[in-house]
Amino acid sequence: MTQQFQHDVLVIGSGAAGLSLALNLPSDVRVAVLSKGDLHNGSTFWAQGGVAAVLDDTDTVQSHVEDTLNAGGGLCHEDAVRFTVEHSREAIEWLIAQGVPFTRDDSSEHDDGHFEYHLTREGGHSHRRIIHAADATGAAIFTALLEQARQRPNIELLEQRVAVDLITERRLGLSGDRCLGAYVLDRRSGEVDTFGARFTIVATGGAAKVYLYTSNPDGACGDGIAMAWRAGCRVANLEFNQFHPTCLYHPQAKSFLVTEALRGEGAILKLPNGDRFMPRFDPRGELAPRDIVARAIDHEMKRLGVDCVYLDISHKPAEFVKAHFPTVYERCLTFGIDITRQPIPVVPAAHYTCGGVMVDQQGRTDVPGLYAIGETSFTGLHGANRMASNSLLECFVYGRSAAADIIAQLPSTPMPEQLPRWDASQVTDSDEDVIIAHNWDELRRFMWDYVGIVRTTKRLQRAQHRVRLLLDEIDEFYSNYKVSRDLIELRNLAQVAELMIRSAMERKESRGLHYTLDYPLMLDEAVDTVLDPNTAV
C-alpha cells in the first residue's frame, strides 16, 4: 500500500549539500532527507582532497577568486565566485563547529596555544588553501554531519528511497508552476509513496555515471538534473564534464580516485619508460588544471597505445607518504602496489559535472518552491573547468544560503493540500530487465567513445542519434512496467546524456573541459550554453 508523507522541507540527496541545508534549518522545521541507497553511498563520503577556502593570513579572497576565474576558461560568473569565496571561512568555521576533525599542522604553534590546520595545495591554486582531514576529507565531513543530523529529532533520514519525479502544480493540471513535493520509490516495499512539502531540494550529485569509466559511486546518475528538467527548469553548461586525471588503473579497483593532493605534494606523472611528460604540455607541470592534465594523459596513452600512465611519489620519505595519504597507501597496498616504493598506474575517468540546474545565489531554480544545490546545480562558480576542491565549498556555502532563504519564506508558505497518489494501475511487473541492462551498457559506452575527453562533430552526431533511439525505448518501457531503481536511473541518465550531447553540439569552440577537433580554437566571447525545456528543439 502506498503511503503519503508531509514535511516542511524535502531534501532529495543525503550528501554534503543536502545535510548542510538540513542542519542549517531551525529545530522546529520538519525535514525529510532521502538517500536512494545506504546513507554512505554518495560522492561526499569518497571525496579525498579537501575544501578550498581562504584561511591563511598570506592568502586573500581576491587571489582565490582570480585562481578560480583563470581555471574556469572565461565562463565563471564572477559574482558567484566572489559570493562563494567570501563565505568560505564561515563555512569552514561552521564545519569545525559540527565536529569535523580537520588535520592540524603540528609544526607551528601560536602564542595562544592553538595549532593551525594543515593546508595543502592543488592544481590551479596559487596558495596552500585546501583544508583537509588527511586524505579522507569527505568521509570525515560526512560522518560529522550525519552524526549531527541523527541528533536532531526534526530531521528524518530515510534510506533506500529513490525519487521518481517531482510533483508540480503544472503536472497536476493546476494553475501555477510551484513544486509540491515528489513521488518516491520505497525499495523495500516496491511501492511509490507521495511526499508533500512546502519546499523541495534536489541535492542528488552529478551525472558522471553516464560514462563507462568514472570515479563516482554507482548512484551518480543525474537524477536531480533530469527531474528538474522534466519539471520545467533550465539547465546550463552540461557539455563541461570534468575527467579526473588520476584514477587507479587496476581490474579490481572499481572507481578509486587517487587524490590530486599527491601532485600537490610533489608526485610526478611518468610514461611507462619512466619519462616525465607534463612539462611538455604546460609550464605548471603536474599542477596544471585538471582538463589540461587529463588531455595530456589521454594524448600520451593514445600516442603510445598504452593502457595507463604512472603517478610516482616514491621519491618522498615513506613516513611522509603514509602520514599524508593513508587511504591511498592502504588501498593501493591491497592491490600489491606500495606507493612508497613504486609508481601508481592511473587513467583519467569521468569525475564531476560542471553544469547543471540553473540557480541563483539562494539555490532557487526556475520552479517556485524547488531548490538545487551541490553538483546538481549550476551556480556559475565552475565555468568551463572546476578548480580543485571548490566543489565541497560550493555545497556548504549554497546549502547554508538556501536554508536561510527557506527560513525567510516559511511563515508565508502553506503546506500543499492532499496530493494524488502514484497510479500504477496500468503497468505490470517486467520480465524483460535484460533490456535495462543492455541499454545502460550501450549508453555508457557510446558516451565514453563519442562524448569523452576529445570530441568531434561526427562523434557527437552519432551519440545524439543513438541517445534519441534509447530515450524512445526507455519511455515505452517506463510506460508499461513498474518502476525500479535501475529503470529510474536509466531514464534519468539517458535524459542527462541527451542534454550533454545537445550542449556539446551547440558549442562551436574548444574551451576548458570541452575539446573538439573540429573547433580547436577558443572564441573571443565566452557564452553559457543554456537549454530550456519550455522551448521546442
List the chain domain ranges: 4-239+354-412, 244-350, 433-520
For residue 353, list its beta bridge partners.
Answer: 241
pLDDT band of 110, cuts 50, 70, 90: very low
Average confidence score pLDDT of the chain: 92
Q: How far apart are CA 375 and CA 399, in angstroms?
A: 11
Q: Where are the beta strands (DSSP E) in 188-284?
A: 191-202, 235-236, 241-248, 268-270
**What does the block give as the cell for 402?**
538556501
The three-state (H, E, C) secondary structure of 416-439, written as one string = CCCCCCCCCCCCECCCCHHHHHHH
Q: What secondary structure letter does DSSP report for 387?
A: P
Q: β-pairing, 4-12 with 191-202? A: parallel
Q: What is the pTM of this model?
A: 0.90
Of 40-54, 64-78, 179-193, 290-304, the range with the lowest mean pLDDT is 40-54
Architecture of domain 244-350: Alpha-Beta Complex (3.90)
- List the catalytic residue out of 121, 129, 234, 290: 290
pLDDT tops 80 at residue 430:
no
pLDDT tops 80 at residue 109:
no
Q: What secondary structure letter does DSSP report for 375?
A: G
Pick 255 or 315 by higher pLDDT.
315
Q: How far apart are CA 7 and CA 199, in angstroms?
A: 9
**What does the block give as the cell for 67?**
585562481
Inter-residue contact 392 to 51 (CB < 8 Å):
yes
- Phi, psi of 163, deg, nearest 5: -65, 130
Structure confidence at residue 12 (pLDDT)? 98
Q: Of 158, 164, 132, give the one whose Cα is nearest residue 231.
A: 164
Q: β-pairing, 370-372 with 4-12? A: unpaired
Question: What is the secondary structure of 80-122 as a DSSP string?
Answer: HHHHHHHTHHHHHHHHHHTT--PPEEEEEE-TTSPEEEPEE--
Q: How far apart are CA 257 and CA 137, in angstroms?
A: 13
pLDDT band of 114, cuts 50, 70, 90: very low
Q: How far apart are CA 137 and CA 340, in angstroms?
A: 21
Across the range 335-341, mean pLDDT stands at: 96
Residue 290: active-site member:
yes
Structure confidence at residue 46 (pLDDT)? 66
**Contacts of 273 by beta carbon, 8 Å cutoff, 6+ apart:** none
pLDDT band of 536, cuts 50, 70, 90: low
Architecture of domain 433-520: Up-down Bundle (1.20)
**What does the block give as the cell for 288?**
596544471
Pick 42 or 433 by higher pLDDT.
433
Q: How far apart are CA 348 and CA 339, in angstroms?
A: 19
pLDDT band of 107, cuts 50, 70, 90: low
Helix, strand, or coil here: 167? strand
pLDDT tops 70 at residue 537:
no
Q: What secondary structure letter does DSSP report for 531?
A: E
Q: How far apart are CA 193 and CA 176, in angstroms?
A: 23
Q: How far apart are CA 401 and CA 1, in angstroms?
A: 38
Report the topology of domain 4-239+354-412.
FAD/NAD(P)-binding domain (3.50.50)
Task: Render pLDDT for 355-405 as a digit per residue (tens, 0 to 9).
Answer: 999 999 999 999 999 999 999 999 999 999 998 899 999 999 999 999 999
